[in-house]
Structure 1
Amino acid sequence: MTATVESPRTPYAYPARSTGRRGPNLEKAGWIFMRASGVVLVVLIFGHLAYNLLFTPGGIQAIDFGFIGGKFANPLWQWWDVVMLWLAVLHGSNGMRTIVNDYVHREGLRRIALGAIASSAFILIALGTLITFTFDPCPTGVEAELLPSFCATR
């Protein structure tokens, strides 16, 4: 009894998944997106860190609930953080999609994994965007002792 082991460099042949396909090349678009989003994310992340750690009086010790409340009161920083969130989640889920496509060979399991990645990305983007644009550190109708000290008494 002999067993043959294929060379590890032998590409896995997906059954009729990539042969004879027409239309846009989504893998190429995903590849380009990863490169472009990576460059933009580097700029966004270093801008975020520079503002929070270098240009804020008090440095890292000044970052607290009030700092975030004041930062999210400015539409520039709301959009900055939302774009950073969207790109980071999409970049990460596209990378996970690539890993699943490369290493999960059973079609049913691949569909489940890709569905879980897509739904996780959708939930993270939806909740993060909602929180960023609706964040209010001083909500109305709350007892004064529950509010942070920087909120004006009403």
Structure 2
Amino acid sequence: MTVIDSPRTPARPARRSGVNLEKWGWVYMRASGVLLVVLIFGHLFVNLMVGEGVHAIDFGFVGGKWADPFWQWWDVLMLWLALIHGTNGMRTLVNDYTNPGMVQKVLKGALLVSAVVLLVLGTLVVFTFEPCPAGAPADLLPSFCPAA
């Protein structure tokens, strides 16, 4: 005689110990989404509405903006939250559409490597940006640099 489990019986036993990474990923997506809305609309407002608007955006505008540590941290926070948010979303898609195994591990590894590389490069660009590097030829410097 075959016994059929109750419909509410879990397919696999629940994990009892350790940190629930799926729960914290879910919480992160909600919290980062709210913060990203504020950061992105602040970014768009300052870049497109204040001053001359979109016509003022050029190399000098970015150089002037990133000369202020407030805007450096604003943009880096936006970069980190958005990139981790997007990577976590892609990880969820990989979980949903692939079977556990080597393909899933390779895809998740590729996501991790690409996210880390982009976070490191993006952060370096923001914090090491120098619109007027010392010793640069005057013909290569923007017009607002003192040597130009």
TM-score, normalised with respect to structure 1: 0.85
The one-character-per-residue Cα deviations of 1:27-81 (angstroms, maximum 9, x if unpaired) are 01000100110000000000001111112x2110000000000000000000000
Question: Aligned letter for 2:145?
Answer: C
Alignment partner of 1:28 out of 13, 23, 32: 23
Aligned-residue offset at 1:25: 0.9
1:1-154 matches, cutoff 5 A: 19=13, 21=15, 22-55=17-50, 57-153=51-147
**Divergent runs of 4+, >6 A:** none
Residue matched to 1:5: none
Separation in 1, partners of 2:68, 2:81: 20
1:3 is matched with none
Deviation, 1:106, is: 4.6
Distance apart, 1:83 and its partner CA: 0.2
Aligned length, in residue pairs: 137
State the percentage of identical aligned residues: 61
* Deviation (angstroms), 1:109: 0.5
Kindly provide the amino acid, as one letter, of the partner of residue 36 in structure 2. Answer: L
Q: In 1, distance between residues paired with 2:139 and 2:19? A: 58
CA distance, structure 1, for counterparts of residue 108 and residue 13 of structure 2: 21
Give the letter for the 2:26 counterpart.
Answer: W
Superposed displacement of residue 23, structure 1: 1.0
Provide Cα deviations, 1:80-104, integer angstroms capped at 9, x if missing partner. Answer: 0000000000000000000001111
**CA distance in structure 2 between the partners assigned to 1:62 and 1:98 by the alignment:** 39
TM-score, normalised with respect to structure 2:
0.88
In structure 2, how many angstroms separate the alpha carbons of the residues matched to 1:31 and 1:106?
20
Deviation at residue 19 of structure 1 after TM alignment: 4.2
Q: Alpha carbon RMSD of aligned pairs, Å?
A: 1.4
Q: Structure 2 unaligned segments of length 5 or more: list them.
A: 1-10
Unaligned ranges ≥5, structure 1: 1-12
